Amino acid sequence: MQAPWWRQAVLYQLYPLSFTDANDDGYGDLRGILERLDYLSWLGVGAVWLSPIYASPMVDWGYDVSDFERIDPIFGDLPTFDKLLKAVHDRGMKLLLDFVPNHTSIEHAWFKASRSSKTNPKRDWYIWADPKPDGSPPNNWLSRFGGSAWELDAKTKQYYMHSYLPEQADLNWRNPEVRAAMLSVMRFWLDRGVDGFRTDAVYSLIKDEQLRDNPPNPNYKPGDDPSEAFLRLHSAGQSELFHVLNTFCDVLATHQDRFLVSEPPLYLSLPGLEQLYDACTTHPLHMPFNFNLMTLPWHATRFRDFIDQYESILGQDDLPNYVLGNHDQSRVASRLGEHKARLMALMQMTLRGMPVVYYGDELGLQDAVVPKSQQKDPWGERVPRHHHDRDVARSPMPWKAGRYAGFSRHKPWQPLARNAESANVETEQAHAGSLLNLYRRLIALRGQSPALLDGVYASYPHTSESIFAYTRTSDQQQFLIVLNFSDHPARFKPSHELKRLIVGTHARSGAETLSGEYAPHEGRVYLVSGEEAIL
C-alpha cells in the first residue's frame, strides 16, 4: 500500500495577504496564488497551507472570521477558490485551509445574535458571565494579546470572554450546537475537496466551567509581558480539548486521505505534544506542530537531545515535524542569520517527518523594518512596551528585485523585507549556490530517498560539543548527516565508510568532499550505502 501523502509532503505555509497581488490593490489574493503555483511545483512543495481566507473585518488579519463559509472579497470568491483548488490538485499538490474554531469575529452573525439579548437562543454559543459586584470582570483571566480576557457588553451588562482580541469572541465549545455548527464548517470545505486543515489555537478551546481564577505565574518577573502574569491553568489546556480534537479527526476520517495539523502553544513541552498526538483515536491523520526548534538554545547537544527525546515519545504512526518559522515569529534568517538558516534547512529536510516551510524562508528572507506608524498587527498596539510585532515576518513575497518586488504594481500593504533586493526568487533561481537552490535540491533528494522519507533516525554518539550528526537508514539506503553548530571550524571523523557527499551547505570539490574538516555552520549529507536516487 502506498504511504499517505502527508508522510512524503513538504508543507508550505503561505500567508495569502502577502504572496501575490493579482488585482493591484496592495493585498495578496487567490488569483495571485494561482499564478504562482508553478513556482511551488518547481520548488517541490507537496502541500500548501493557506492562512485564513474567510470573510473577516481583518482586525487580526483573517484570524477574526465573520463567515466561515465565505471567501473575503480581498482574496476573491468561491469560484476562484475552486479554480485554485483544482489547479493545486492538477499539479499533484494538496491544499490545507486554516480552521479557526476557538473564536469568531464579533461581526459574525452568531455573535451579533448572541450579544443581542440574554435570552437569544445563541446567547450560550459564546462565554458570557456577570460582572463581579464591583462591576469588574468575572475573574483574572488575561488575553494573550494584552489586558483582561473579558469585555463588557454595555447593552446586556455581561462580559464575554476573548482569549485574543476583544474583536475575537471565544465560542463556547461546551455547547453541542456550537460543536455541530463548527463540524459542519469542516464538512463544507472537505466536501469542496480541501485536503485538510491547520487548526488554530487548540489549547484555548475549552475553559474551566466554574471560571476559576488563574494562579500567579511563579516565574513572572516585573518587566515581563504582562499577559504572562498568571498561569493559564483554568483558561486553557483543559483535558476536554482532546475530546474536541478527536471529533475533528472523526470528521476528517469520513473523507479519504485528509489530514489535520494542530497549533499548540509555542512552549508546549514534549509530554504535552504527546498528549496531542494521542488525542485522535480514529486514524493516524493528526499531527501537532513541533515549534521547539524556534526556541531551542543554539547548541549541538541541545538540538540532539531534543530530537532524540521527541523521536522517543512518538508512536509508530505519529508523524514528526519541524517548524522553523511562521507568521507569528521573527524570520528564521533574522533570528539566526544567513549561515545558521542554511544549516537549519539542511537539518529540517533530512530529519524524519514533515518539514514545514514558511513562505520566503526558502529565500532566507529577513524581517522587514516596519515603522510604528505603519504597524498593522493589533498585538503590538495593545502591548506596546513588549512590541509583539508580527508584521516583520508578513512582508510581500519578493519575486524579483525592484520597487514592489513583483508582488504588486501597487504599494504593498506591508513594507518589503530588508534583503528583498537580493533575496528574491528571480535572483536566487539564477544563482546556483543560493539558499533557494539548496532548498530545492534538498526537497528533491528527500523526495527520492526512502531513507530520508521514512528511514530510521539515529543520532551519532556524542563526539564533540560542536557537531550534531545522525544517520537515516532504510532497507536500501543509508545517509549520514553532519552539522557543525559552532562558529569555529570543527573536525568530525565518522566510523562509517562514506560513499560520497550528496549535498552540503558549502561548495566542496575533490578531496574536500570527504574531509573531516567542517567550516563554521557547515552541514553535509553523505551517502553511506545504496544509491542516491531510488524512487
Q: Of 459, 469, 512, 520, which Cα lies nearest the Cα of 492?
A: 469
Nearer to ligand NOJ (CB atom), residue 61 or residue 81: 61
* Residues 192-231 interacting with ligand NOJ (rule: CB under 6 A): 200-201
Which CB, 339 or 394, lies closer to ligand NOJ? 394
Is 532 tagged catalytic? no
Kindly tell me which residue out of 6, 150, 164, 359 binds ligand NOJ, with binding defined by CB under 6 A: 164
Shortest gap between Cβ of 261 and ligand NOJ (angstroms)?
Answer: 12
Q: CA 229 to CA 33: how far, in whole Å?
A: 41
Contacts of 74 (CB under 8 A, 6+ apart): 17, 25, 27, 29, 58
Site for ligand NOJ, residues 254 to 283, rule: CB under 6 A: 263
Q: Which is nearer to ligand NOJ, 200 or 391 (CB)?
A: 200
At its nearest, how many Å lie between ligand NOJ and the CB of residue 144? 8
How far is residue 254's CA from residue 404's CA, in Å, rounded to a whole number?
A: 44
CB-wise, 19 or 164, nearer to ligand NOJ? Answer: 164
Of 376 and 508, which CB lies nearer to ligand NOJ in the complex structure? 376
Q: Are 368 and 419 in contact (CB under 8 A)?
A: no
Q: Which residues pair with 126 in a beta bridge?
A: 171
Minimum gap (Å) between residue 326 Cβ and ligand NOJ:
7
End-to-end Cα spacing for the chain? 15
What does the alpha-carbon distance between residue 105 and residue 67 come to, in Å, rounded to a whole number? 9
Letters for 391-410 (x = contact with ligand NOJ by CB under 6 A, - = none) are: --------------------
Number of residues binding to ligand NOJ, judged by CB under 6 A: 9
Q: Which C-beta is closer to ligand NOJ: that of 101 or that of 138? A: 101
* Nearer to ligand NOJ among residue 304 and residue 327 (C-beta): 327
Instruction: Give the alpha-carbon dihedral of 516, 517, 520, 524, to 10 degrees.
Output: -40
Q: Which helix (H) or strand (E) holds 349?
A: helix 338-350
What is the three-state SS of 244-295?
A: HHHHHHHHHHCCCCCEEEECCCCCCCHHHHHHHHHHCCCCCCEEECCCHHHC
State in angstroms the smallest separation of the CB of 227 from ligand NOJ.
Answer: 13
User: What x-and-dash track marks residues 83-102 binding ligand NOJ by CB under 6 A?
Assistant: -----------------x--
* Total residue length of the chain: 535
* Contact in structure between 358 and 390 (CB atoms under 8 Å): no
Per-residue x/- marks for ligand NOJ, 322-361, CB under 6 A?
A: -----xx---------------------------------
CB-CB contact of 359 with 352 (8 Å): no
At closest approach, how far in Å is the CB of 60 from ligand NOJ? 5
Q: Which residue among the candidates 263, 311, 318, 377 is catalytic per the annotation?
A: 263
Give the whole-angstrom CA distance, residue 348 versus residue 136: 48
For residue 383, the minimal CB distance to ligand NOJ (Å) is 13
Sign of CA dihedral 293, 523, 348, 365: positive
The answer to whether the CB of 53 falls within 8 A of the CB of 62 is: yes
Q: CB–CB of 364/336 below 8 Å?
A: no
Q: How far apart are CB 160 and ligand NOJ at their closest, in Å?
A: 16
Q: Closest Cα to residue 43, out of 463, 362, 382?
A: 362
Active-site annotation holder among 200, 311, 367, 391:
200
User: Minimum distance from CB of 423 to ligand NOJ (Å)?
Assistant: 23
Q: Which is nearer to ligand NOJ, 60 or 72 (CB)?
A: 60
Residues 359-378 that bind ligand NOJ (CB under 6 A): none
Name the closest residue to ligand NOJ (Cβ): 63
CA 435 to chain centre: 20
Contacts of the segment 264-268: beta carbons below 8 A, 24+ positions apart: 264/202, 264/203, 264/288, 264/289, 264/291, 265/203, 265/236, 265/237, 266/291, 266/294, 266/295, 267/295, 268/203
In the complex with ligand NOJ, which residue's Cβ is closer, 98 or 428? Answer: 98
Task: Tell the smallest beta-carbon distance from residue 198 to ligand NOJ (Å).
Answer: 9
- Catalytic, 200? Answer yes
Task: Report DSSP letters for 129-167, one per residue.
Answer: EPPPTTS--SS--B-TTSSBSEEEETTTTEEEE-SS-TT
The contact pattern for ligand NOJ, residues 55-74, with x = CB under 6 A and - = no contact, is: -----x--x-----------
Catalytic residues: 200, 263
Q: Which residues bind ligand NOJ (CB under 6 A)?
A: 60, 63, 100, 164, 200-201, 263, 327-328
